Chain A
Amino acid sequence: MRIFIAVILLLSLPAHAAEYAVVVSSNSTVQAMEIAKIKDIFLKKRSFEGELRIVPVNPIGNDPARTQFESEVLNMSREEINRYWVNNHFQGISPPTTQASLQSIKRFIETVDGAIGYLPIDMVDASLRIVHEY
């Protein structure tokens, strides 16, 4: 019986619980956002949401949050991303700005109008608004 209940409980869990969230400031006018648009913003193909200039921010280096974002949202390997930015360097476009830690990304998003980034869901509080989970 206990095994049966355990199986039922296991099956009732979501197949894949979101670990990370793409977030903006809770004061932002930006609401939910489609994954394609988020991808375009972080590849700097788009820069606006309505009238608001969007400022994407990445954690520096190989932070697990960044690796996860690149594979699940951008759907690109680091190799492809490097190629992309090398091609864009010639066009005068450089990668998004970076911050040293997830804590400083959170503060950046809270402080700069139009900032957008991604954080582990357990770091999201009332100062931020989730626009996409993954």
Chain B
Amino acid sequence: MRIPGAIAHPCLALALLPLSGALAQEPYQLGLGYKLLDDITVGGYLSTEFSRGENINEVLIEDLAILTYGNLTDRLSFLLELESVDFYKADLENGTDSGNTRPAIERLYADYKVSDYASFRVGKQISPIGYWNLQPINVLRETTSSPRLSREMFPKFVTGVSVQGFVPFDETLHYTAYLQNTGDMDAKYINIDVDQHYGLTLEKSLSPQWKIGGSVGKYREQNKNRTDYFQLNARYDDERFSFLTEGIVDQHKQWLGSKETSTAVYTQLEYRFVPQHALIARAEAFRDDRVALHEKIGILGYSYRPLFPVSLKLEYQWHADSNNNRLVGSFSILF
């Protein structure tokens, strides 16, 4: 008896398999989620952080989140992520604390795969721009902080539709086109409140180690200000070294007519002297003409992963304004 893939979902097919016995699941492995059913996975993450500097002395449970995802048919899948940001915060400078236990929808979408050249996603999703935004949680990063570029220069989420896949005439080229024409599904933790956002991201694999790419797009904020952005990125990865660099230019058009520019760039080097231990150095520059801000940041960090989904990190940040210099550490885990 053959089980047609077109009508039989693999897990259904497995259930029908004669003689072969039940599906053999790998035992639970930290960082890969827990399989509820053959094709439904539940997991989550937690990150804690401390910052100590001239104007700051705080400890926080920064993120607590659960996620679940799975396949509904052989072409249709879903993902839901609920997150509480700043779950608990203790300000040791002023002796106060606060909490936020209300979870918000960080992501909720359905994917429909037509082919390797076109897969559609509908719902709230991460904007596919640059490297950091696609891996925005502490445990997946090698530094506790993320570059300012990834936090302030484009909306972190799209509530709308995207289509992505390989480009048929060049399968080393991957594209994602995205469109939002409504407010955010849950605006609690967003960085820029937009009601319109669209763009295109391309990524080219030059070799197993080298990748280059970029994004171009536009968004309109709820206050009717508009921004055009143009971003480029490149990375190199091998067993010991990683090199990342990104740059972005934003052209802001205020509703009443004035035009301003902001730019951001960073370069990061990472050296894993053994798989569990890494040294990281990053240099950032950020300029925002709207608020006459010109900042430079240098970061030296150390990352220790006793297991890959468990991360202990320490970094020191040097800011152009030395009042903002600080020591930052974190513990995070993906489960």
A-to-B contact residues, CB < 8 Å: 25, 27, 46-48, 51-53, 55, 60-61, 75, 77, 79-80, 82-83, 85-87, 89-92, 94-95, 97-100, 104, 107-108, 110-114
Contact between chains at A113 and B24 (CB < 8 Å): no
- 15 pairs of residues in contact across A and B, judged by CB atoms under 8 Å: A48-B113, A53-B74, A82-B31, A82-B308, A85-B32, A86-B32, A89-B31, A90-B135, A90-B334, A98-B23, A100-B24, A104-B20, A112-B17, A113-B5, A113-B6
B102 within 8 A of A: no
Residue in contact with B32 in the complex, picked from A52, A53, A94, CB distance below 8 Å: A94
Contact between chains at A60 and B26 (CB < 8 Å): yes
**Residues of the B chain whose Cβ atoms lie less than 8 Å from the Cβ of A107:** 17, 19-20
Given the contacts A55-B5, A111-B2, A92 and B26 also touching, CB distance less than 8 Å: no
**Residues of the B chain whose Cβ atoms lie less than 8 Å from the Cβ of A114:** 5
**Residues of the A chain whose Cβ atoms lie less than 8 Å from the Cβ of B135:** 87, 90
Contact between chains at B275 and A79 (CB < 8 Å): yes
Nearest Cβ on chain A to B183's Cβ, whole angstroms: 24
Contact between chains at A113 and B23 (CB < 8 Å): no
Contact between chains at A52 and B5 (CB < 8 Å): yes
How many A-B contacts are there with CB distance less than 8 Å? 112
How distant is the Cα of A110 from the Cα of B10 in the complex, in angstroms?
13
Nearest Cβ on chain B to A115's Cβ, whole angstroms: 8
**Residues of the A chain whose Cβ atoms lie less than 8 Å from the Cβ of B94:** none
Given the contacts A60-B24, A111-B2, A112-B5, A95 and B32 also touching, CB distance less than 8 Å: yes
Nearest Cβ on chain A to B24's Cβ, whole angstroms: 4
Contact between chains at B74 and A111 (CB < 8 Å): no
Contact between chains at A92 and B74 (CB < 8 Å): no
Q: Is the interface of B mostly helix, strand, loop or mixed?
A: loop
**Residues of the B chain whose Cβ atoms lie less than 8 Å from the Cβ of A94:** 32-33, 35, 41, 69
16 new A-B contacts, CB < 8 A, other than A89-B31, A114-B5, are A25-B2, A48-B116, A55-B10, A60-B25, A60-B26, A82-B31, A86-B140, A89-B33, A90-B334, A91-B134, A92-B77, A94-B35, A110-B2, A111-B2, A113-B2, A113-B6
Given the contacts A48-B115, A104-B21, A89 and B334 also touching, CB distance less than 8 Å: yes
B-to-A contact residues, CB < 8 Å: 1-6, 8, 10, 13-14, 17-21, 23-26, 29, 31-33, 35, 38, 41, 43, 45, 67, 69, 74-75, 77, 79, 113, 115-116, 134-135, 137, 140, 166, 208, 239, 275, 308-309, 334
**Residues of the A chain whose Cβ atoms lie less than 8 Å from the Cβ of B74:** 53
**Residues of the A chain whose Cβ atoms lie less than 8 Å from the Cβ of B239:** 77, 80
Contact between chains at A111 and B25 (CB < 8 Å): no
Residue in contact with A47 in the complex, picked from B3, B41, B113, CB distance below 8 Å: B113
Contact between chains at A111 and B137 (CB < 8 Å): no
How distant is the Cα of A85 from the Cα of B41 in the complex, in angstroms?
13
Contact between chains at A108 and B20 (CB < 8 Å): yes
How distant is the Cα of A111 from the Cα of B13 in the complex, in angstroms?
8
Given the contacts A60-B24, A99-B20, A90 and B140 also touching, CB distance less than 8 Å: yes
Residue in contact with A86 in the complex, picked from B10, B20, B309, CB distance below 8 Å: B309
**Residues of the A chain whose Cβ atoms lie less than 8 Å from the Cβ of B2:** 25, 27, 110-113
**Residues of the A chain whose Cβ atoms lie less than 8 Å from the Cβ of B5:** 52-53, 55, 112-114
How distant is the Cα of A91 from the Cα of B43 in the complex, in angstroms?
11
Nearest Cβ on chain A to B18's Cβ, whole angstroms: 8
